[in-house]
Structure 1
Amino acid sequence: MLNFEKRSYHVHIIAWFIGLAAVGFVVYHFYLVSSSPTDENLFTTTPSNIYITKPIHLSRTSGGDEDVHFLQAGDILVAVNGIPIDSARQVGAILESMSDTSEVRLTVFHPSTQNIFTHRVLKKDLPATFYRQIPPSVFVIDVEPGGASDRAGMRVGDVIIKINGKSFTEASEADAILRRGQTGKTLEYEILRNNKRINLHVVLARLGFSIDYLAVFLCGLLYIAVGFFIIVKRPRIRAAFYSGLALLIFGLLINNIYMWRIGPNPVFGKIKSILLVASVFFGIAVMFHSRLYFPKERRELLRKKWVLVVLYVLALAGTISTLVFAKEDSSFYVSLSVLLLYVVVVSFVHRSYRSEEQHRQARILNIATIIVAVMFLASLLMRFLGFYSVSLIYIVAGQSLLPLAYLYTIGRYGLLDLNIRPRRNIQYTIATWAWGLGIMSLVLWIIFSLPNLDLPLPNILVTATNIQVLDTPPDPEQKLVMEKAAVIILGIIVFYAGWIIRKKGQQYIDRKFHQSQYDYRRAASELAEVMAANITMIDLARGIVDKLAELMHLKRAGVLFFEDEKMCTCHQEVGFSDEDLERIIGENGEHLVHVIKEFKAEIHVDYLPEPLKGHFRKNEIQYIIPIYSKARLVGALFIGEKLSEASFKAEDLAFLSSTVKQASVSIENAFLYEELAEKERLKHELDIARSIQMASLPQATPIVPGLDISGKSIPAFEVGGDYYDYLNEKKDTFTVIVGDVSGKGTSAALYMSKIQGVLRSLHGFGLSPAELFIKANQLLYNDMERKAFFTAIGARFELNKQRMVIARAGHLPLYRYNATTKRMETILPRGLGLGLDDKGLFTSELEEQTIDYKPGDIFLFITDGITEAFNSSGQQYGESTLMRVFSENISGNSFSIRDAILDSVAEFASNGTQYDDQTIVVIKAI
């Protein structure tokens, strides 16, 4: 068996040989048929040599027309009592064996009508000499009007017994004698007509070619061309080889079976006869074989080797039996029936093995195959029944569907790894021309047919001054004028109707192939509306690409927006996936922006450097249009092929340039909107964070016996890093913590939240301020950045003992008003900030002090946002101002002291900007 993978070169050579041989054969055959002389009639072999010599009136008739009640002179006797006869002696023997009163059934062929009748007549009514045996002959089935035979007086039904004095045994021999004649020379035909011998002299004419034969020739070439194309393009694929071979064989079959004249070359005639028979049987076999591979391989049948063995054995047997018994048509029909029956049975039995996909892909091919088979069998049946004058155009038109179905199936489902779909602009051109020519041909045919119509005109007479209604038809001259006028009016109506129909059909074709011309002004207006209606980047990008794809009928389009001519901040696309565009952006990055910036107008992708050119070609992008705003690149349009697959015109590119100019303003506005929206979003989020942070601070002042407490924290920004908390785990103790995270804003606030959680968790273990800070430092050191730290001061009030235990971790001192001494004091134990050390230095440096207090003592806890507040002149609030304001308000309660200090700071800062958080806690012993 031929190895298609390893010997594709040999398959290629075989395909070229078979293809060229097939083309050469059909071209030479068409040349012989076209150039050989002809008598411009058609004839075929007479079905019998028994000729009826005289008319006989009959009692009954069956078959054919009921008006025929007699045998006519010139009829051909085919059978007697159902027995086919071939000699006069056989007829006489059958009749002699019957009595005079017996009924005889005579089957006769009427050459002039090409009908077969069966007549029943009593033997005694038959004259003894009503038939005779004639030499082998042919009878005329068609005479071309005005042709050579018609001019010589030949008629349909004439029986030809000699041509130029030469006898023959069948139609092919008679045709060979004819073809040996010369154009312009005379042939003598000896014919029988109504039992009279007549000699006719026919001047031979050159045939040229008829429309029927041209249609057959072109149909055969279509089969051969498609089959040759499939094999040559994919010689490695079995499905391609067998499918192409089947089409090549059927191309030969069509040319042989429908162009039955063979010309004067007897050797070519023999070759033609052999090829005709072989192509019938092996064409069917190879076609069935190909369908086991195409459109999908049917392995369940290919595994059964006997299926193909039996198939080709039947094809070979049918070919040999038909050639051996060439004179017996029954051999051909029986062999063909057996082969077709085998194919149908095997296909029917194994139909369930085909998947739904196989049925779907083979549907058009199956329909075309059935149509071709029906047309082929119908043509054989018509020839068998003697209908030779049927036009071949209708037959070959139906049979042309099979190669077209192959091309459609291959292109529709991408089979055989072939891309044979013509571009849509070519399809559009073909459809436009076909529609226009079809309508024009129909209009011209109707207009030229109008003069031949017998128009039912009313009895009216039109003159220059009036219109008269007549009781009788007008005279012939007046009627002729009316008919001409009517034909002219009808011609104008037909022409106008044809123009309207062509226009409507063309509009449909334009829509179907996306060739409708769009109004540039309307398109620009619609784009402007889209840009005005969408203010976000994503909505604007989506609106632009969707509207462009809709207006320009694009297969794919995309848009990129660039921020600061570096980073792609937004992209949208139509016709290809996000991943493809993101891959281009990700792999090329700023290089893409740099390349686009080199161009100020539209760029064809062929002018891009690699690998950008390869990426865009792969995604079928044709043009890139930069979008500039104030000489700054803010985006780019990617434009793919049109749905019509037509090229871009100058006005298309001008429209795109105008579009990007409109888009540049909208893109700038979108950037501004996104910036404002981002700021608003951040502000909203910070407001939420501020609310959460403020909610995490003490929301109510605790009521502690012996203490008047007040605290407040004011962040410099939406959120801050200052912290204060009241921890009251026992009735006789109260703890206050004030702290400050290094840094400002969100990061400081996040650390503050974490520290708050740690301190609250640890305080539940009853730790002193120093112990609380040590444990907290151990937990926070590994979770804080090296540059971040936390200062804090903590004081535990032992209410029953009126004693305070204080520890300071790098924070500001505690300010105390001593009511006993009437003096301000600064309490500053040693200590490092939390998060700076975990090697023991923090613990060793941390000092815890115990201080007794009396009623009237006031303790002030603050963060550096109080003392380091600046005014507009750059002056610092300072500790001295703080102590002054503190001392001036010692007579008030904790709330008034707190507010006085905060008001003082606010008044000092005036219009200055607050750069640090401000936290204050005042505790007054009472």
Structure 2
Amino acid sequence: MITLSLIGSLLSSSMILFTIFYGLYKNYHDRVMRYYAYFALWGFGILFTMFLTYAFQNDLDLTIVNRITQASTVLSFSALFAMSLVFPKTGNIIPFWVIAISLTPAYIIAYICIFTDLTITAAYFKGDKFIREYRFFYTVYLSVAFGYILLGIINFIRKYYSTDIALYRKQMRFVFIGTGIAMTFAAVFSIIMPRFFGYVDLYVLGPSIAGIIAISSLFYAIISYQMMDIRSAIHKTTMYTVISTAIFLPMFALVYLYDINIWGMKSIPLFIIAFVIVIIFMALSKYIQPIIDKAFKRKHYELQEYLDTFVREISNLRDIDELIKKTVSIIHNTFYLKTTYFLFYNNESRSYQLEYSMGDAPISPSLPRLSPIVRWFNRNQKIVTLDNVYIDEVSFAEVRDEFIQYFTTNNIVIMIPIYHRRVLAGILCLGEKDTLAAYKPDEIELLSFLSNETNINLSHAITYQEAKKEQMVQRTITVSSELLAKAVPKALPNITGLKFGAFYIPRQGGGIDYFDFIRPGMQGIGTIATDIAGIGMQSALYSVIMRSAFHTSLSDAHSSYSVIQKLNRVIHNYSQGKGILITAYYYYIDVRNMRLIYTNAGFPPMELYRVEKSDFSSLDTEGIPLGYDPTFNYGMGRTNILRGDIGILYSKALITSKNSRGEQFTLDHLRTIIKENRMKMPSDIATIIQDEFKAFMGISSPESDIVVIIFKAY
């Protein structure tokens, strides 16, 4: 029993320690995750001190070690109560000082346990039996510990019946089943049985098993956005059952060989045997789990093959309506959904309208082009689930109410954005399954794969339709090149205290994107970079219009806000708010005061390498693209620059275009190039970036035109 106690306490404390580090690594800024780590830390304290008690019976002061176990116990039970105050996440945040006051009695009891002999006067082994001598205050300690458990359970039950959010109720049910049973199990075998009945055989094994169950269930409920359905539960239960059975034989064999002292094994310290068992457990877990996964996820693999066939079928479709109908149909019938529909952008109504639906009809599906949901999708290109909206406090802080209202009004649980040339072209909306089962994580992964393929094929179909409307795409590119020749600077400016570098890579034929400089006097210079969607003469005309409007802004060059506001009004007046997507970034450098003033209109933020910190700052004011809203109030940022600082503006396609291997150039790669070549002239840095990008892309073309402008202060 001593050997099993050693193995159980070491294994469970190791698992708890892993969940602490993994949880904090995944989302340290999450308040609930930090409280979970606090709770798990004291659980680790209980089990690891129990391991030390049995591993070093003659080397440690067992009385002190056991008092630490007591302190960890009351602190872990109080931490569970603290968890009930902050989990699940709700709109009402309990102040830290309230939680601190509620934990004060636990810390007082913990202090008494460690530094006085009011609870335990002695702890020692008598033969193979662990003995503890109690005093009267131990009963007070028990009362406080169980009081915290009782308060935590009451608070969880209160929250369960007072919330209407299904996800929160699922999480709390999971906590009730796992944590509630486990904590009770641990308390009975580590506190009640030894104190009142003198039974200590399960003093360590009870809390060890309970610790694995409690910590794992709470960890899963907090960190997972998708609760397990019944099949996932069976899968996980079977997996751990088989693994436990698999390690029983080698564990029994080692214990048996140790007991009969074969090959002199009793000369090996007992804790080394425990470490060997833990290593065997981890090794068997690694190799047995994939086999069980494959057996239980047979339908997942079949579904993936089915979707692969569907992707091959739609790869040659160029009719947008047919492509949308086939996509909605395959997802609706494959996942057996209650409702599925597709929103597609309508240029005339300037909104996302219902294009096709199956199942229950949505109540209010349309979304205006400038709605918070559409803006969010344009900045965050990822699938959104209703659970994500409730749980992710950072990403959805400003749009949570809008998302929740849209989800609940139309009875959907997943929104999948579809893009064309980085602009939101449509949204695929999925309802609940007919079985009411949750979407499993592997199903979300498949939907993500399907979303990427739909993005590619729908973008191809839209491009094909646009090409047919323009008829002579190559001819319009030639005309646009002639127009654009009048809209780009022929040379980079030469100004005291600043040096510039730049390059331009058109996607095909002649380019469309526009960049330029204005210099109102000797004291400073203004620079603009734009990203204009589309190809052809219409897009090129926007470049010419931008150039004309930009050069009439000479008197306002020192105010980035005024320049961008003017360009926004000009583009809106020309297009009547129905034009193509145009993003821009303008900055002005006051050379005399080394002051940088900037405004962004949907362009990637400027990356400013600060020589003093040897690190980068991203300069952004988060404005919308030009021409959509003439009343939009663009922000203006200011910062000082020093000699040696390097600023770079770049088209988004520089870091998002993929080569033949599906790899992206990435912002980190761009920053590394600048940092490694920071001592060189900006023109040389621009040449190095251009050469490395072309080598990286190989035979692949960028997804759109690329403009890069670099300045360096001297």
| TM-score, reference length from structure 2 | 0.36
- Which structure ranks higher in relative contact order (CA pairs < 8 Å, sequence separation ≥ 6)? 2
Identify the structure with the greater helix proportion: 2
Task: State which structure, 1 or 2, has the greater radius of gyration over its C-alpha atoms.
Answer: 1
